[in-house]
Amino acid sequence: MDIKTVGVVGAGQMGNGIAHVFALAGFDVTMTDISPEALTASVDKIAANLDRQVTREKMTQAERDAAMSRITTTGTLTDLAKLDLVIEAATEKEAVKHAIFAELLPHLGEQTILTSNTSSISITRLASQTDRPERFMGFHFMNPVPVMQLVELIRGIATDNATYRSLEAVVEKLGKTSASAEDFPAFIVNRILMPMINEAIYTLYEGVGSVQSIDTSLKLGANHPMGPLELADFIGLDTCLAIMNVLHDGLADTKYRPCPLLTKYVEAGWLGRKTDRGFYDYRGETPVPTR
């Protein structure tokens, strides 16, 4: 299938990044969100990011303007129904995703490929609640989308080969690299990354090291660009907890038990950068460790 039109459900951090790269690659993109303010902020962020690329001479002003002209927004979810490809990039809660698909399904065109940007939830289970499990896939972008080169492609048990090949071609057109992952909890990247972050939180919880010493140790001792606690704040502690719960529930292994300190931070509403507090406090000029 030759995909030309793309719908993005959710105008948050992932949604606006996905819209950015698709528009830049020549696709016509329609974004939707339940919040009009989120849609406005998302378009403004995409424009600012593209402006930065023009300033750095990564693209021309004409390329920037052409990309922006390909992005439209709507507050009506069903406006995405006749597009070639729909990417759900809403919050990492399965009930929310099911509700989105249930509203879309009666209006979807027969050819539309339906995908989820979920970072951990079963693709087979999501697909089973739709009328097109053969044209349903996991389409997992990394954050921040314009910078990160990888896209995980996850087939459900019923996904057909034509759908997989279509999305593989889309990833190539975006200038990114795809990796095929089997449909098991958290797929590849988060199956490996999240337990490392969770173990860093246990290391903090048990008093083995401070926030600063843990992050410094991994940056300088393992050559990581960001420390694990800094990275957790960037991802969002609520997202980290949700993925750890999927791993723990789906694989029934105690090694995936979320650290109680992670749960406590989420209960406090300290979710990282997006709430200005997590393992660091971001309310001042320089981030300050909170423990």
Binding site members for NAD(+) = 10-15, 33, 92, 97, 119, 143, 274
Q: Which of 140, 166, 178, 230 is catalytic?
A: 140
Is 119 considered catalytic here?
yes
Catalytic annotation, pick one of 20, 152, 178, 230? 152
Quote the DSSP letter at residue 259: P
Binding residue ranges: 10-15, 33, 92, 97, 119, 143, 274
- Residue of 16, 42, 122, 190 marked active site: 190
Strand partners, 6: 29, 85
Q: Verify whether residue 140 is a known catalytic residue.
A: yes
Residue whose token pair is 């995908």: 115
Cα–Cα distances in angstroms (integers) from residue 227 to residues 48, 194, 213, 223, 279, in the given order: 27, 13, 9, 9, 11
- DSSP code at position 33: -
- As annotated, the active-site residues are 119, 140, 152, 190
